Amino acid sequence: MSFASQFGQLLFLASIFFLNFLARIVASPLMPQIEADLGLDHAQAGSFFLMVSAGYFVSLLGSGLISSRITHRSTIIISALCVGLALIGISLSQGLWTIRLGFLLIGLAAGIYLPSGISTLTSLVYKKHWGKALAVHELAPNLSFVVAPLLVEGLIEWVSWRGVMGLLGAISILLGVGFAVFGKGGRFYGQAPGISPMRTLISSPAFWVMVLLFSLGIAATLGIYTMLPLFLITERDMTRSWANHVIGLSRISGIFMAMVAGIISDKIGPRKTICCVFLVTGILSVLLGLVGGKWTTPLVFLQPVIAVCFFPPGFAALSSIGPEGSRNIAVSLVVPFGFVIGGGLIPFMIGVAGDMGSFGVGIAMAGVCILAGAFLTPLMEVAPRRGTGCK
The pLDDT profile of the chain, 391 residues, written as one tens digit per residue, is 666 677 788 889 989 999 999 999 999 889 889 988 888 888 888 889 889 988 988 888 888 788 888 888 999 999 999 999 999 999 998 888 999 999 999 999 998 898 888 788 878 877 666 656 766 777 788 888 889 988 998 898 899 999 999 999 999 999 999 999 998 888 888 766 667 667 777 887 888 898 999 999 999 988 898 889 889 998 888 888 888 889 888 888 877 787 777 778 778 888 888 999 999 999 999 999 998 788 999 999 999 889 888 887 887 777 666 555 455 566 677 888 888 899 889 988 998 998 888 889 999 999 999 999 999 888 876 555 444 333 3
CATH superfamily of 1-192: MFS general substrate transporter like domains (1.20.1250.20)
- How would you class 16 by CB atoms within 10 Å of its CB: exposed for 0-12, middle for 13-18, buried for 19 or more? buried
CATH number of 195-384: 1.20.1250.20
Q: How many CA atoms lie within 13 A of 132 on its CB side?
A: 11
End-to-end CA distance of the chain: 37
Query: What residue ranges do the domains of the chain occupy?
Result: 1-192, 195-384
State if pTM tops 0.85. Answer: no
Q: In this predicted structure, what is the pLDDT of residue 370?
A: 95
Q: In this predicted structure, what is the pLDDT of residue 308?
A: 84
Q: What's at 5, amino acid-wise?
A: S
User: Among 256, 255, 308, which residue's Cα sits nearest to residue 147?
Assistant: 255
Q: In this predicted structure, what is the pLDDT of residue 55?
A: 92
**Residue 242 neighbours by CB distance under 10 Å:** 15
Triad 106, 186, 111: Cα angle to 5°: 20
Let me know if the fold of 1-192 is the same as that of 195-384. yes
Q: In this predicted structure, what is the pLDDT of residue 204?
A: 79
Cα separations in angstroms, 211 against 52, 59, 205, 330: 18, 17, 10, 10
Q: In this predicted structure, what is the pLDDT of residue 320?
A: 67
Q: Is 185 left (phi over 0), alpha (psi -120 to 50) or beta?
A: left
Residue 389 forms beta bridges with which residues? 385
Q: In this predicted structure, what is the pLDDT of residue 120?
A: 84
Distance CA 225, CA 245 (A): 13
